Structure 1
Amino acid sequence: MNGGSIMYKKTILSILIIILLIPNILFAQTTNDITLKPGFNFVSFTNLITLTPTELKALNASIEDVFLYSPSAGSFLSASEGTLSSLSAGKGYIIKSNASSDIKISITGNAITTINPLNLKTGFNLVGFSQAPASLTFVKLMTDNSILKCFYKWSPTAGTFIQVIRDESGFITKIDGVDPTIKAG
């Protein structure tokens, strides 16, 4: 073998290694660890999820169903019923677990680089936060956006919703005496 041939092979090998590494450099993989409590869990994904609802259910046999509220339909779409066919960041989902104790699932995907604005419909909207806003509470969000009438946060421990509402006079009331902080996921 001559020196030119060896150099050619090293160059080709170097190019192949770079090509294999570029996707991992350009699209940083992140893991979204989610702890599911028995019953209903309100979640949002903090990475670009590539799983289908069926694949998400297959992560743990205790995942009974995955739901997404559709404001245009005025009802919930369900993975089990076949009406929910895709998952994405920036949306709120309900995952129902029939486990008797907490279970953990890990979802790997590319890091989120942009967040689309929320398009709220009149009435009920189930939204998810894929990136946490800087120290934002329900009261602060409602104070800054008079169009927002109420917020609910599910408390799996209590088995009920924590509520912050705007009454007919425009006053914001913490029904349960709590002003939850908005968090990602």
Structure 2
Amino acid sequence: MDAREERIVNAAKTLLSRFGEKKMTMDTVANSVGLSRSALYHYFASKKNLVLATHKYLHTRNRNRIEQALKESDNKRPGVLKAVLLRENFLFELAESSDDKTWYEESNYPAVRDLLSETETAYAAQLQTRLELLGIKSSEAQVTTRLLTMFGRGARESASSKEELVASLKTGVGRLFKNPLAN
């Protein structure tokens, strides 16, 4: 992605967060980056393509951050917490900066929905792989991954601040790994 495309995608992110997918127009994006509508269409053939590129850019950057954090943690449990914190903070920040609270998780475009589903699957795979590297059996790692993703979503949706989200995630993930209720 070149610098101009990145500028367009960042403008689209801002406008998607303000207006949502339905109300954001190519005209508003073009105006916000100082391009004519026809020049914008040179970079993105349709609104769908721009929305898809915006999601891909944001979610790929977050997935890469998670991957880097996991590599740097050398197969230690804190890597799992770091991955969950990165993912949920990313989504929390998108929600907090948005008037449309669902634009980054839902779409009317099938290609965007597919990308969002692939993103969730990739995140779950990152967690499950890390758990297996920690010595957790595959079947247990799969269940633990589901628990972590459900807990992360619940903590994010119920937190009133980033600090509350981080505290909840640290406590919850810590308790999950201490496993005090196991026989």
TM-score (norm 1): 0.23
Higher normalized strand content (fraction of residues): 1
TM-score (norm 2): 0.23
Larger radius of gyration: 1
Higher normalized helix content (fraction of residues): 2
